[in-house]
Amino acid sequence: MRWTDLLRMSISSLRRRKLRTFLTILGVVIGTASIVVMISLGLGMQESVYREIEQSGGMTSLTVTGKQTDTGMYSSSLGSEEESDKYITDEVIAQLREMEHVKSAEPVLSLNAVALKGKYIGYLELRGMTPEGLKQLKMDLAPGGTLPDPDSQNLDLVVGNGVIQSFYEESTGKGYWDTGELPDIDFMKDQMFLILDESTYFQSQENTDMGTGSENGENVQNGGAASALKKTAKKYVVKASGVIEGDINAYNANYYYVYCDLDTLKEMLKKEFRGSVIPGQPSTKSGKPYSKFVYSSATVQADDMEEVDALSAQIREMGYNVSTNAEYMESMKKQFAMVQAVLGGIGAVSLLVAAIGIANTMMMSIYERTKEIGVMKVIGCSLKNIKQMFLLEAAFIGFVGGVIGSVLSFLMSFVINFLTGNGSAIGLDGNISYIPPWLMAAALAFAVLVGMTAGYFPAKRAMRLSPLAAIRNE
């Protein structure tokens, strides 16, 4: 018997029992859609991490920090005037650049700053980087934006698309998360005041409030305030040269940060804190500034991904802390594998129930078609053909259910991404649900396999029926 005849007979048999076939296929549809959507959630998170790593320098990137650093701040003073405790200095950067398999090594200076614009005040995480380091970040800027000009007299900023949420009304302390309205600030057009000396600024504000907040003891308070206000924080006029592409819902690796040219920032800090310790910089035991400028970290690019592990080990032997995107990716892969296994297992339960439904449908079909099976055997139909016919029916149920389930999973994925703002609601850079072509093909093949597996034992039973007993069956 030809395959076309078997297929025609299988489809004809399923069409005669429309309601039962529909309910069985519905079980496969739900099971297939469930397993695809569940796995797609794990893949969505994985793709988000891939994009974040790409924006952070790719798999060949290493981040080197000193032993005494803590997000750019130094909690302990140096034991002597010139003691170096594995800090990231210009000499260390030069040393890293000379190492074998190092493509580039760029310093990074991170510090907190305050920005003022009209009635708004913002708290910024400022990152000073070299032009080469900024280019390695592969930032997507909004139209008209450029990277900071190292030759500019002013400090040009590249503002993350989520930084606007860090601004509040100074008088009320209310911002976006309180009012639901973004501050009326256009970084590309509006100039702002940037304050690098946070402590002095807030101290002067407290003294001003203390000097004007009470009538009792007015002379004493005003005298104290006047004394404290002798030192005021310098305000720098700054403007953004670029803004990261996207609105506040488009999360990315540069979402919260403000970038600027490193050399320009260093010169501003040295001038403002001449003779005193720059915030975030180490000091000697006597309280004097350290003789060398210390960076928060260094971003090192290896010339080959295969050399990342050896290079990180070599830098650790020098006494520095090293973290790599490759190590981070391996750690995340293990977590994602566990997440996908759990989510896939939940979806597989639905497909298992569907398999039971297929087996039940095929078994009932055998009971109802016992005489038909007997006649087929009497007229010479081989046992192999009978087995193939029932397996084909089960596979057809799995195939149709798999196709419809795949389409349904796309619709469910679209709804999930829409409701979560393309991942921004949970802090992901991109869709929370991601369905690659291979997942669709695998789900369809798995649905067919489940159908054939569920129909195997009913098909074996059909083969074992006695032709004479089957013909006599009522």
pLDDT of residue 216 exceeding 60: no
Higher pLDDT, 241 or 198: 241
pLDDT of residue 122 exceeding 70: yes
The predicted structure's pLDDT at residue 349: 83
Q: How far apart are CA 410 and CA 274, in angstroms?
A: 61
The predicted structure's pLDDT at residue 12: 74
Q: Kindly write down the DSSP assignment for every residue of 273-291, as one continuous string.
A: TTTSPPTTS-B-TTSPBPS
pLDDT of residue 422 exceeding 80: no
Nearest alpha-carbon partner for 48 in 213, 192, 251: 251
pTM for the whole structure: 0.66
Name the residue type at position 319: G
The predicted structure's pLDDT at residue 344: 77
The residues spanned by each domain of the chain are 3-53+332-472, 61-197+234-303
pLDDT of residue 235 exceeding 70: yes
Which residue, chain included where needed, has tokens 């009304």? Answer: 169
CB 60 within 8 A of CB 448: no
The predicted structure's pLDDT at residue 264: 94
pLDDT of residue 15 exceeding 80: no
Q: Quick: pLDDT tens for 175-203.
A: 998 898 999 999 999 999 999 988 888 88
β-pairing verdict for 120-129 and 257-261: parallel
CB 63 within 8 A of CB 282: no
What's CA 51's distance to the chain center, in Å?
Answer: 7
Higher pLDDT, 212 or 304: 304
3-class SS of residue 220: helix
The predicted structure's pLDDT at residue 72: 40
Higher pLDDT, 14 or 449: 449
> Strand runs (DSSP E) across 206-256, as ranges?
236-243
Structure tokens at 376: 């087929």
The predicted structure's pLDDT at residue 215: 42
Q: Kindly write down the DSSP assignment for every residue of 128-164, as one continuous string.
A: EE-HHHHHHTT--BPTT-----TT-SS-EEEE-TTGG
pLDDT of residue 73 exceeding 60: no
Q: How far apart are CA 152 and CA 241, in angstroms?
A: 11
The predicted structure's pLDDT at residue 370: 65
- Of 49-53, 276-280, 304-308, the range with the lowest mean pLDDT is 49-53
Task: State mean pLDDT over 433-437.
Answer: 88
Q: Quick: pLDDT tens for 379-393.
A: 667 777 777 777 888
